[in-house]
Amino acid sequence: MGYWVGAAGLYAFGFLTGFSIGQPFLLVGVALVLMGPVRHRARIFVPILTAVVAYNIGFFSSVPFYCTATSQAAQASVVVCKSLLGATFAGGEGYNPSLAPAIQSGLLLAAVAGTLSLGLLIASTYRRRPR
């Protein structure tokens, strides 16, 4: 019962705060709700949940986190945005940086983390078997 309460709580919190800090909580909550029937099968549950958390980490570390605009007299303004890792995105007036690099880095990190956790689970299963 506690599993479902926690999963529903993360889902609800993520949904209610979706426009501010809710995306990672919503993604983890949805993953927990969808994987509820297989939560006792570690080879399925752990890699998928690891991939969802890794996606959140990869996305938020490379998404433009804050932007500043500067302007000289009688010239168009320049918008400069920076991510948490220090990547800089710049453009002219009305510039809106793309989220594509952040989504790509999140997906890449999710694939690596999910594959790595599955490999570790499989390796630990073979180590425990008596020979």
- Res. 125: pLDDT tops 80: no
Q: What number of CA atoms fall less than 13 Å from residue 90's CA on the CB side?
A: 6
Residue 127 is predicted with a pLDDT of: 65
pLDDT confidence tier of residue 98, bands split at 50, 70 and 90: confident
Taking alpha carbons only, the member of 53, 39, 43, 31 closest to residue 120 is: 43
Contact status, residue 64 vs residue 81, Cβ threshold 8 Å: yes
Per-residue pLDDT tens over the stretch 69-91: 888 777 778 888 888 888 888 88
C-alpha of 128 from chain center: 32
- Say if pTM beats, i.e. exceeds, 0.95: no
